Amino acid sequence: MPDPQFSIIVPCYNEQGAVERTLEQLTRAVRGRACEIILVNDGSVDGTAAILARIAAQRSDVRVYAHGSNRGYGAALKTGIRQASGELIVIIDADGSYPIEIIPSLVDACAEFDMVVGARTAPDARHSRLRAFPKIFLRIWASWIARQHIPDINSGLRVFRRDVAMKYFGILPNAFSFTLTITLAMLTNFHAVAFVPISYRPRIGRSKIRPIRDTFLFLSLIARTGVYFAPIRFFAPLIAALFVVFVGCLLHDAVVLQDLTEKTLIVFFFLFNMASFALLADMIDKRTAKE
């Protein structure tokens, strides 16, 4: 077949109840378009592997890759991106939660952008209440880092240019934070990004949320994205707080104790080291430009 215009990558982990219907809908949605469909089995332990093996045997227009064990959502996407032939990459989950029929419109819109994100902000979008608060906080945090409003930070339906994404492969994580990281990488490096409102519905099958594990991952994600993409903005509140404490200690030493105490010196050196680290991180960020 001729080189496809775009490649659709579908990561699959324990999606035996939805993957076949997702593939059928994809086939109908992109009929007549020059594209390829890549399914990546990320170490599923249900019947997903058998279903994908049958699909690979029956359809020459669909490629299937597999991880021997569960390596993560981002790892599955990166496997698909490495194998893709299309200039544009479309990613979509296999769980039936995203409107597959909108993919051709998103692909066409990407002609003028480096990435087009299907933002789950349409009036009929239905979100999980369990994930609502963390996502709101994460969206506000990411918008503050990027210095612009981000309506949906981690949508799993988006189109982006493969060559641009490859520039950031070294920082794209293997976990669910892949989408957040590539969004911030694009925005903080001034790539053209568009957000298109889409609907969203509850997934088919069991959710893969693990409250304790995902809470720790969420906190580490907050810290990592802040330090990497906006070190000055990330450390500024802490530096300001330490400065206020230092001034307070210094005034207390000068007015009340009339002596320079060790606690004031400790706070000063802590403040100095924190400010130096933030400036060094910012210099490294500017020199490498993450490209």
The pLDDT assigned to 287 comes to 60
With helix as H, strand as E and coil as C, how does the chain read?
CCCCCEEEEEEECCCCCCHHHHHHHHHHHCCCCCEEEEEEEECCCCCHHHHHHHHHHHCCCEEEEEECCCCCHHHHHHHHHHHCCCCEEEECCCCCCCCHHHHHHHHHHHHHCCEEEEECCCCCCCCCHHHHHHHHHHHHHHHHHHCCCCCCCCCCCEEEEHHHHHCCCCCCCCCCCHHHHHHHHHHHCCCCEEEEECCCCCCCCCCCCCHHHHHHHHHHHHHHHHHHHCHHHHHHHHHHHHHHHHHHHHHHHHHHHCCCCHHHHHHHHHHHHHHHHHHHHHHHHHHHCCC
State yes or no: pLDDT of 177 exceeds 90. Answer: no
Q: In which domain, by residue range, is 272 found?
A: 231-288
Looking up residue 10, the CATH number of its domain turns out to be 3.90.550.10
**What is the mean pLDDT of the segment spanning 88-102?**
95
In this prediction the pTM is: 0.85
The answer to whether residues 199 and 240 belong to one domain is no
User: Is 126 inside any structural domain?
Assistant: yes
User: Is 201 inside any structural domain?
Assistant: yes
The 10s digit of each residue's pLDDT in 99-115 is 999 999 999 999 999 99
State yes or no: pLDDT of 290 exceeds 60. Answer: no
**What is the mean pLDDT of the segment spanning 253-265?**
93
Q: Range with the lowest mean pLDDT among 142-146, 195-199, 237-241?
A: 142-146
Q: Read off the pLDDT band of 168 (50, 70, 90).
A: very high
The 10s digit of each residue's pLDDT in 185-237 is 999 889 999 999 999 988 776 766 665 666 677 777 778 888 888 888 889 98
The answer to whether residues 42 and 27 belong to one domain is yes
**What is the mean pLDDT of the segment spanning 123-133?**
72
User: Is 61 inside any structural domain?
Assistant: yes
Which domain-ending residue is among 207, 229, 251?
Answer: 229
User: Is 1 inside any structural domain?
Assistant: no
The answer to whether residues 156 and 271 belong to one domain is no
The pLDDT assigned to 21 comes to 95
State yes or no: pLDDT of 80 exceeds 50. Answer: yes
The answer to whether residues 48 and 153 belong to one domain is yes
Average pLDDT over all residues of the chain: 89
Q: Bigger pLDDT: 202 or 83?
A: 83
The pLDDT assigned to 291 comes to 45
State yes or no: pLDDT of 289 exceeds 80. Answer: no
